[in-house]
Amino acid sequence: MKSMNRHRKQRDIPVLNSHAPRLSSVYSPDERVVLFQGDCRTLLRAIPSASVQLVVTSPPYNIGKEYEARIDLDEYVRAQGHVIGECVRVLKNSGSICWETGNYVDKGAIVPLDSILYPVFSGLGLRLRNRIIWHFEHGLHCSRRMSGRYETILWFTKSDDYVFHLDEIRVPQKYPGKKFFKGPRAGQYSCNPLGKNPGDVWTIPNVKSNHVEKTDHPCQFPVELIERLVVALTDPDDWVLDPFLGTGTTIIAALRSGRRGAGAEIMSKYVDLARDRVIASLNGTLPVRPMGRPVFDPKNAGKGLLSAPWLRQKETSGNLLQTCEDYSVAE
Ligand SMILES: C[S@@+](CC[C@H](N)C(=O)[O-])C[C@H]1O[C@@H](n2cnc3c(N)ncnc32)[C@H](O)[C@@H]1O
């Protein structure tokens, strides 16, 4: 009920900003925002070769979500291969492709999708620059394996001459006061004052129930995850493309940093949702978790959440309950 209200609220947002670019439903190089309803291969066919600076997406994982028919894994890889081939064609020579995936699951056994898709990209001549681990702290609790708390982003470039703005994504140093202790610069500060390289393990909250960006879509990625890729791998006015757009997150991340955004979404209810979110973003009314905000520190949670009830009981009565199950603890 709560999420339906949230959805309804987002549906009637008019474009208030008269300088905002218009939303086009068909691709043209003159546009700045293209939201195509339909199969991504149709949108891709309309895009000229070597015109897009960044393709970033999270495709269906073939796990039987409402927007996908579960198919044989080889067939899935072939279908992804067709889309990836077209993405490589539209990509500029200096451009990047970032493919964000998790696991395919078959009767409890997992297949990491990045491992089975890697040969498709490398077979098309792309070079892998990073396998970024996107770590998050919430999700389903498994009972017969460890709960999954990361997905990966394969970052490929089309050539060795690629755009990479490291200074745009530097993060605060752990020890900014650290100094060289020997050598010609002994006594001087050793850190880069602009911050340090963020590394290839990114801890960013996933979009679950309490996240400000949560909609009715089951698998949104957070704007800040994509914004970091956009500012590092593109320049202002470049095209950023998402063939599996969902709720419009990639377009929102692109527009927030002065890039152009295009995407395809096959389900009309998600196209509506994406359109409303893009408009709200252009109006400055879309709630977005800002890039670089530290992850919530549980030490700041209410006291009631921080102490175990079975230990509290022991403190007051002197009796420790026998097991956690007495409290219906899930895992
Ligand atoms: C994992 S979700 C992407 C969610 C997105 N990253 C977001 O933040 O909202 C994949 C999306 O691809 C859409 N989709 C599936 N097949 C498609 C196709 N052939 N063309 C375009 N969109 C498709 C699904 O409806 C789904 O919304």
Query: Cα(177) to centroid of ligand 1, in Å?
Result: 45
**CA-nearest residue, atom 13 of ligand 1:** 244
Question: Which atom of ligand 1 is found nearest the CA of 61?
Answer: 1
Question: Which atom of ligand 1 is found nearest the CA of 264?
Answer: 21
Residues of the chain with pLDDT under 50: 1-12, 321-331
Query: Cα(70) to centroid of ligand 1, in Å?
Result: 14
Query: Cα(117) to centroid of ligand 1, in Å?
Result: 17
Fold of 2-296: Rossmann fold (3.40.50)
Q: Residue 13's pLDDT is what?
A: 53
Query: Cα(156) to centroid of ligand 1, in Å?
Result: 20
The preferred substitution site among 3, 153, 220, 244 for testing ligand 1, maximizing ligand atoms within 8 Å of CB, is 244
Query: Cα(54) to centroid of ligand 1, in Å?
Result: 17
**CA-nearest residue, atom 4 of ligand 1:** 246
Q: How many CB atoms lie under 10 A from the CB of residue 294?
A: 8
Tokens linked to 261: 């955004």
3-state helix vs strand vs coil in the chain, percent to 5: 30, 20, 50
Q: Residue 67's pLDDT is what?
A: 83
Query: Cα(218) to centroid of ligand 1, in Å?
Result: 10
Whole-angstrom distance, CA of residue 234 vs CA of residue 256: 13
Class of residue 153 by CB neighbours under 10 A (exposed 0-12, middle 13-18, buried 19+): buried
**CA-nearest residue, atom 2 of ligand 1:** 246
pTM for the complete prediction? 0.89
Continuous segment of H or E residues that includes residue 93? strand 91-101
**CA-nearest residue, atom 7 of ligand 1:** 220
Tokens linked to 179: 């100094």
Class of residue 250 by CB neighbours under 10 A (exposed 0-12, middle 13-18, buried 19+): buried
Judge contact between 269 and 200, C-beta under 8 A. Answer: no
Question: Which atom of ligand 1 is found nearest the CA of 249?
Answer: 8
As a whole number of Å, the end-to-end CA separation of the chain is: 27
Whole-angstrom distance, CA of residue 52 vs CA of residue 135: 28
Tell me how many helices (H) and strands (E) the chain has. Answer: 9, 11
Q: Sketch the domain layout of the chain as residue ranges.
A: 2-296, 302-331
Tokens linked to 35: 């939201």
Pocket around ligand 1 at a 6 A CB cut-off: 39-40, 58, 60, 67-68, 217, 219-221, 244, 246-247, 249, 264-267, 270
Q: Residue 316's pLDDT is what?
A: 63
Continuous segment of H or E residues that includes residue 5? helix 2-11
Judge contact between 257 and 227, C-beta under 8 A. Answer: yes
Residues of 154-184 as b/e, b for ≥16 C-beta within 10 angstroms?
bbbbbeeebbeeeebbbeebeeeeeeeeeee
**Contacts for 129-135 with beta carbons within 8 Å, 24 or more apart?**
129/96, 129/155, 129/156, 129/157, 129/162, 129/164, 130/155, 130/200, 131/155, 131/200, 132/200, 132/201, 132/202, 133/200, 133/201, 133/202, 134/100, 134/202, 134/204, 134/225, 135/201, 135/202, 135/203, 135/204
Q: Residue 21's pLDDT is what?
A: 87
Q: Residue 11's pLDDT is what?
A: 42
